[in-house]
Structures are given as C-alpha cells and as structure tokens.
Chains A and B, each alone.
Chain A
Amino acid sequence: MDPIVFLVATFLITCLAIGLVVHLVNDGESWSRTPSVSWREAHERAETLLKEMLTAEEYVQLGERGYLDVPSPSEPRWTYRVPHKAGRVSIVQDGVEIESLCVSPAESLPPGDVVLVHKLMIEGDEQEYLRRANRYRLRVPARFLRTGA
C-alpha cells in the first residue's frame, strides 16, 4: 500500500475512533449541545437547586447535621436519613437505625443533586426506590423499638 494512503487512512480511522469515544462519554449528545461546565460550576448549581427544593429548616439541618431526614410516605414510623456526602442511606424507626440502604444514581452527579435524587425518589416513588436498593437489615434489640403504630 502507498505509505501516504496508509497514513491518511490511519488518521481518518483515529479521528473516527476519538469521535465515537467522545460521543459515548457524552451519553449520545452531540458536541455542540454539551455545555462546557466545570465540576465546580456543576457543584454550585446543584447546591442552588437543592436550596430551592428544600425548606429553610431542611437546608439548615443538612448543613448542621450532615444529613437530611425524609419521612416515609408509606410507613409513618420510618424516616430516611440521607447523607450530604457519600454514604449509605439509613432507615430510622423510633430513633433507631434499623436498615442501611446502598443505592445511588447510576450516573455521576454533584453531591447536592444526589441528595435531591434520594428525596424525590423517596417521596414520589418509594417502592421503586426500595426495590432498587441493596438493603441491609440491622440487628436491633426489640427493647429499642416500640411495638404497634
């Protein structure tokens, strides 16, 4: 094969391969539609949205305690404790942690958005949230839990 033809063909194949990788990394969005946003900007935007979506009390709790309590829509004695930073979500009953949930967005998100995803899923689609989670029941002595509703 002519060396020049070989070089041109190699160059074109390399460009196509790079384009394909970039396209896949961008979840199928074309280049022009993907805004250039740094991680810091994404983080700040997520915090702004989280602040908008929480009540003032919830946002203060998250800042002071490092977690957000989300009441269960279906089980009145349960509260989901969602950490602001990475970590498992806890189910708290009568002030005692009874389960630990390992579940997170499949896509990498800024921390503020991760908290929001947990809150929305718990409030709006709790059964699917629990179905997706890996659940770890904790051994809690019966004396720590009230019986009945």
Chain B
Amino acid sequence: MAVMQVLSKLGDTRYEWDVAGVTGGDPAAVAAVREAERIFAQHRARGATAFKVWPGRPAERLDRFDPQAEHVLLVPRIAGG
C-alpha cells in the first residue's frame, strides 16, 4: 500500500492506494491513485514541495507524481521571515 501525506494546519491528511491493484488494473485502486495524483498536482501548483521518504534515510525531492513511491510527504511552501 502506498501512502501520500499532505501537511496542513489540520495535521496531515493521508491518501492511500494499492500499488499492486493499480498495476493489475483494479478500478478502485486506479481511481484512488488518480485522486492522489490530482491532489498532488493541486498542492504543487500552490507551491508545495513533495518528498519521497524512507525510515532512517534522507528524504528525496519528488518533482513528478510517482504512483510506485511507497511513502510521499507534501509540505507547504516555505518563506523567509
């Protein structure tokens, strides 16, 4: 199961999809990954940055939605204070 978490003032919102189901053409899994991709694009358009993350390893910036990525975090844009 792949997870995308979007950070916001509400904490984080999780979106999940079944990678194997997407590969196998399962309609529910395909719909879920399309919704995740739409949300990814929406937040990126607002200036959010996406990262692939793994436990115990440095994060890696993600410029395009990757349906195979196991864990993605989207963070809001940052600004100098």
A residues with a Cβ closer than 8 A to B are: 27, 34-35, 37, 41-46, 49, 52-53, 55, 73, 102-110, 113, 116-117, 119-121, 123-125, 128-129, 132-134
Contact = CB atoms under 8 A, between A and B. Distances in A.
Given A104-B81, A107-B76, A132-B80, A123 B59 contact: yes
Interface residues of B, number: 27
Contacts of A107: 8-9, 76-77
Nearest to A129: B78
Interface string B9-20: 111110000000
Interface in B26-81: 46-47, 49, 51, 53, 55-56, 58-61, 73, 75-81
Given A45-B11, A46-B11, A49-B5, A132 B59 contact: no
Given A37-B10, A120-B51, A106 B58 contact: no
Nearest to B13: A35
B77 to A, nearest CB: 5
Contacts of B58: 73, 123-124
Nearest to A44: B11
A104 B79 contact: yes
22 contacts: A27-B46, A44-B11, A53-B53, A53-B73, A55-B55, A103-B79, A103-B80, A106-B78, A108-B9, A109-B76, A113-B7, A113-B75, A117-B7, A117-B76, A120-B49, A120-B53, A121-B75, A124-B59, A124-B60, A132-B79, A133-B78, A134-B81
Interface of B: 5, 7-13, 46-47, 49, 51, 53, 55-56, 58-61, 73, 75-81
Contacts of A102: 80-81
A11 B57 CA distance: 56
Q: Of A52, A103, A106, which is in contact with the most chain B CB atoms at under 10 Å from its CB?
A: A106
